[in-house]
Structure 1
Amino acid sequence: MLWLRSLIYYIFTALIAMFIGAIAGKEWGLTFALVVISVACLFHLVNLNRLHYWLKHPQVDNVPGSLMLWQEVFDQIYDEMRKQKKSKERLASTLDRFLSAAEALPDGVVILDDYDRIEWCNPASCEHLGLNRKLDMGQPITHLLRHPSLREYLKQQDYSHPVIIRTTRPAEQTLSAQMVPFDSTRKLLLSRDITQLERVQTVHRDFVANVSHELRTPLTVVGGFIETMIDMPTSDAKTRETHLQLMYDQTQRMQRLVEDLLTLSKLESGVQVREEEVDIPQLLQLLRTEANGLSQGRHTIEIGRLDRPRLIGNHDELHSALGNLVSNAIRYTPPGGTVTLGWEKRDDTVCFTCRDTGIGIAPEHIPRLTERFYRVDRGRSRNTGGTGLGLAIVKHILHRHQAQMCITSELGKGSEFAVKFPNARMIE
């Protein structure tokens, strides 16, 4: 203990002074004691001054050195400074990692003080809420927001649920924002981009509504005829046969719809299928045979050029996708028209083409043709046996084969569906 060692030092000095006084006289003993105490006081004053100067500029690298007791004091200060420096470095590293993580968050984060002034925000919040990290620090957030619904949300101070914000600039976007108090004074304003989620929910709602609508019509027809047959058991054979044929047609339509739904679900699940070498001329001959069966002699089915006749892919999926394009061409081409199939080089690659001389498609419909249940003419599509899922299935199959479909059409003159396959799938 420092005070005990100092006490021993002064007791020892007093004993020496008494010994000198007993031998040489009291005056000499007192003089010795005063000189030793003065030197000790000067030594302490010098070290106190050095300590005072260091406290004005405390750095671990310039801790002063000394002798005896003061050296121990300075050593302890040096050890504490080193520990404090390491602790600061750890805290700074932790804070840097926290800030880096917050900067990288896809969700917006804004830290507000008790007066709703911005203390910190990450880049995502600037994008979502239109903030400026350099100019808006310290500003009340209610003065900076461009969304009336969010300003009203903050004004009401009911933070139990998020508020939905829809913006159109710079792009159409839907945001979810919520205030979260995290201590007695500060709050977090969190924002999240839910545009894709909302689109998925919209597609899901439309899908359920469309499926329900597509199934309701044939079920109504079948149910109505069954009731008629129950109420009129003595109806003539011709009427009964007509009713049964209509019921059969409607049940076939429901069966096709269910099969297409199962196919689409399988494709969307992402299950990989076995790929093989596909003989394109053989596949086109098969498509031509099926087209002639569907046409019943009402159309002319031709096969055009055949370049680089082999491809790596799944035969069954390609048969389904390309066959869907051919059947659509037959359905929407009036009797006497021509449907031409081809496999030709185009733009340094090879593509499947299906041209028809049918009714054509208006330009505004072309971008939406591959949407589920989208129809240009609903009545005509149902009359020709379409389920509204064919081109959606085609889109998924082509995506699995890294292929792209290009549609060109003119009303009254026909259409062309061209499917471009990547060169990596071609076999010389």
Structure 2
Amino acid sequence: MNWLFPRAVAGVMLVLAGAAAGYVAGLALKSPLLLGLLGALASAAVLILLDTLRGHRLLHWLRGNQQGTAPRDAGLWGELGYRIERALRKREQQVAQEQTRLTQFLSAIEASPNGVMMLDPEDHIQWCNRVAAEHFGLDPQRDLQQRVTNLVRAPAFVAYLQGGGSKGSIQFLGARGDVMLSVTVREYGEGMKLVLSQDITERERADRMRRDFVANVSHEIRTPLTVLAGFIETLTNLPLTEVERKRVLSLMAQQTERMQTLVSDLLTLARLEGGPRPPTDVWCDAGQLMAQMEQDAHNLSRGRHRLSFRIEQPSRLAGVESEYFSALSNLVSNAIRYTPEGGSIEVVWRVRPDGSGEFVVKDTGIGIDKEHLPRLAERFYRVDGSRSRETGGTGLGLSIVKHVMQRHGGELDMRSEPGKGSEFRLIVPALRVSVGGAIGGGVKAPAAPAASA
């Protein structure tokens, strides 16, 4: 308001000056009062004209894009232009900040692993992130303002959306047909809807695997328990000769051993899955592993197969010695069980050109169809269930081998052809292979039991 008093004084002085000039001129024309009044009016008109020009300049700036500075006139119009310009710049700054926040918010939603889609009260798509577009088979730009039910025609989703999402959430197959979605609808604002989608394919697969696992374990344990219960009833109710009693007790011991093996394998798997990652600075000798494995293989084969164990290059392996032994023992025992009498089994350790190493177990056994290879390392998966049970397998051996190699950063490679035998490779990464001699004699045999396939 510092402009008000000077402006009022200047206006009064200008009017008085005009009146005085008119009065002096009016003395010569014998009409001093009339000309004095006209002079005052003329001064007021000049003042009004100047204000009009200043106001016009300000209006012209306001009607434009306001990119430059407002007119810097003195007095009222200068003050008004300055304050309007400052308010506009402050508003522009606030809008820019809000736009930045909105961009950051949308970027955060875009980075979300879940799908987010915004609908207006008529279910037209206002915005969706990339994940939602993949889930529902949409184009994030082309499909804007389209009614979502015209694009996503899954009956469950349409009924759910029309019901306002009152059922909590629903599950149905996504646009590609191989993804299971969990979709939730939440209302916000004035009739707006937020559609949240989540890929639950892996969760559903894990749940299904857990259900299958429990069912398989129950089945595997129920069978020997049923046999044991029958034998116990036989021993209790029937008079048996000494030979019959010994035979029954022998069969009971076999079933008990089978359950113990199964429980041991399950505990081994649990330990492998929940245990810490194997160290990279604790070493074991590959030659000693092979020597112990060769001794166990001869005991298991009992001269029925031609066995060959060979080390192409002395090496040391970083990790858990008992786990390496358990993985290798599973492969060798499988080869012996599924190779007919008179067949040959070859076990080789070699260092590959890239610095990694591999245990190769090759046999001339019955072989496996290619269709079974992708699932062979799954828990309880058997190519021939009856044959596996006859040989004492639990269906967990190759699963243990796979987990051991994954924990050590390696992999299990399987190749087989029916009637021509199989070849299994335990590939150890270069980080865990050190080329050189044995780390010393007198190393005890690994204590961990080898699981049965």
Normalising by structure 1, we get a TM-score of 0.90
Q: Deviations over 1:71-112 (max 9, x none)?
A: 211121122122112111111111111121122222222211
Q: Is the 8 A contact 2:22 2:39 kept in 1?
A: no
Paired with 1:271 and 1:145, the residues of 2 have a C-alpha distance of 45
Q: Deviations over 1:135-171 (max 9, x none)?
A: 22211111112534323433444443223222583x7
Partner of residue 194 from structure 2, selected from 184, 188, 207: 188
% identity of equivalent residues: 43
Q: Is the 8 A contact 1:162 1:178 kept in 2?
A: yes
Q: What secondary structure, in the 3-state scheme, does the structure 1 residue paired with 2:68 have?
A: helix
Determine whether 1:263 maps to 2:233.
no
The aligned residue for residue 336 of structure 1 is 342
Partner of residue 135 from structure 1, selected from 135, 142, 148: 142
Q: Is the 8 A contact 1:60 1:82 kept in 2?
A: no
Q: Is the 8 A contact 1:108 1:191 kept in 2?
A: yes
Q: Is the 8 A contact 2:126 2:144 kept in 1?
A: yes
Greater Cα offset, 69-78 or 391-400: 69-78
Determine whether 1:326 maps to 2:337.
no
Letter in 2 for 1:297: G
Q: What secondary structure, in the 3-state scheme, does the structure 2 residue paired with 1:172 have?
A: coil
Q: Is the 8 A contact 2:165 2:186 kept in 1?
A: no
Paired with 2:93 and 2:352, the residues of 1 have a C-alpha distance of 67
Determine whether 1:314 maps to 2:324.
no
Aligned residue runs from structure 1 range 33-44, under 5 A: 33-44=40-51
- Deviation of the 1:344 alpha carbon: 3.0
Paired with 2:23 and 2:146, the residues of 1 have a C-alpha distance of 81
Paired with 1:61 and 1:263, the residues of 2 have a C-alpha distance of 77
Paired with 1:336 and 1:21, the residues of 2 have a C-alpha distance of 140
Letter in 1 for 2:272: L
The aligned residue for residue 439 of structure 2 is none
Q: Is the 8 A contact 1:60 1:78 kept in 2?
A: no
Q: What secondary structure, in the 3-state scheme, does the structure 1 residue paired with 2:349 have?
A: strand
Q: Deviations over 1:173-206 (max 9, x none)?
A: 2122232211222112222211111111111111
The aligned residue for residue 52 of structure 2 is 45
Q: CA RMSD in A?
A: 2.7
Aligned residue runs from structure 1 range 87-166, under 5 A: 87-166=94-173
Would the alpha carbon gap of residues 400 and 158 (structure 1) be closer, same or farther in structure 2, given more than 3 Å must change?
Answer: closer
Aligned residue runs from structure 1 range 201-220, under 5 A: 201-220=207-226
| Structure 1 residue ranges without an equivalent (≥5) | none
Aligned residue runs from structure 1 range 343-422, under 5 A: 343-345=349-351, 348=354, 349-422=356-429
Q: Deviations over 1:387-422 (max 9, x none)?
A: 111111100111122222222222233222122223
Q: Is the 8 A contact 1:210 1:373 kept in 2?
A: yes
Paired with 2:248 and 2:237, the residues of 1 have a C-alpha distance of 13
Give the structure, 1 or 2, with the largest relative contact order (CA under 8 Å, sep 6 or more). Answer: 2
Would the alpha carbon gap of residues 122 and 167 (structure 1) be closer, same or farther in structure 2, given more than 3 Å must change?
Answer: closer
The aligned residue for residue 443 of structure 2 is none
Paired with 1:168 and 1:356, the residues of 2 have a C-alpha distance of 46
Normalising by structure 2, we get a TM-score of 0.85
| Structure 2 residue ranges without an equivalent (≥5) | 436-453
Letter in 2 for 1:179: V
Q: Deviations over 1:365-386 (max 9, x none)?
A: 1111100110111112122221
The alignment of Structure 1 onto Structure 2 pairs a total of residues equal to: 426
Paired with 1:16 and 1:207, the residues of 2 have a C-alpha distance of 107
Q: Is the 8 A contact 1:334 1:359 kept in 2?
A: yes
